[in-house]
Structure 1
Amino acid sequence: MKLFLTHIIAFLSICSFGQTVSDRTITIDPNLSVQNYEHFKRLTLNSPDSPIEYLDGFKFEWGYTYKVSVRETKLRSTLSDGTQYDYVLNHIISKTKVSDTTQFKLFLDPSRYYHKVDSREQLMNITLKLINDNIYLYFDNVEIEVPDHLKIIFNEIVAGKTSRLGHFIFINEKRIRLVHL
């Protein structure tokens, strides 16, 4: 009965709003990426088989590859940022930990916004926040462990002098380690 009602609701939303709704299975990669959004930068999901950037109802953990069932809604018109689909999590099919030696790339950018900000917005603009001597919180999302031999170059990024592509490995679901810049 519940499945029948779900299908009826989906059918009515298609008829009344001109949107296409379907259930799909997609893969979500074990790391997020920095996206240059309309007015700021943010971390988004990666998928080899979907343009998904955000998944309503999904709690991402670093270092795990997911297979998920989603409700995909093709929007009637493309949003100003290029978004064409909306996604809602149905359920997680599988969650698989990747090897601790798996390397991935992540762009390191010290600023969230493209423009200069006034003093009231400065704290929100900072993407790399020092937790302790060698650990930083990036985009308020993931801890980055920085080895001593990379601190000088990394501190140039933190100071806003440069942005760089970093190579990382997974430590746990909340922390990654920089291995190369």
Structure 2
Amino acid sequence: MRLFVAVYPPPAVVAHLSARITELRIGEAAAAGVGVRLADPTQAHVTLAFLEPVAADRLEAVERSLDQAAWRFRDSGAAPPRLHLAGSGTFGQGRSTIVWVDLRGDVAELHLLGRLVRSRLRANHLCYDEKPLRPHLTVARPGARLPSAEVTADVAALQAYQGPQWRARELVLTRSHPGPRPSHERVAAWQL
């Protein structure tokens, strides 16, 4: 199974951002069928850890790890992080260009949660992508389908974006189903 651990913004927060994205070149290009892929708003999330492929018989260990991480987060006295989407950037270049929106607010608490998740996964001998946590929400995959100047202009326009505040109230284990129409399936969740 391909699994990841995430927090999900509420639908109203995602709708607010989606309305802004449709006004940009990446939104116009996607609507015109240019091949720019906008992230599916129903699957918008902030990833805390990507697990390496997990065998079905190890799912219980993953769930136990996340239960322990959520418990330790609550026990730390930290409140569910109050966040908002703001600012923007890109990862990759050329065909692999991704446009993302940054998170602001209680990001330190989100990093604490990410460290606890990764610590418990490691303690239970579960492998995950060890890249440093960079909380963000992916909004589009323009690749090389738009001139880089247009992507740069959209990123600059999103720098001024300020989304509504929300609290990350639960930690979610999600299964990813890759393919031409990738989808996500909620496996389990823990209250923060």
TM-score when normalising by structure 2: 0.25
Larger radius of gyration: 1
More strand by share: 1
TM-score when normalising by structure 1: 0.26
More helix by share: 2
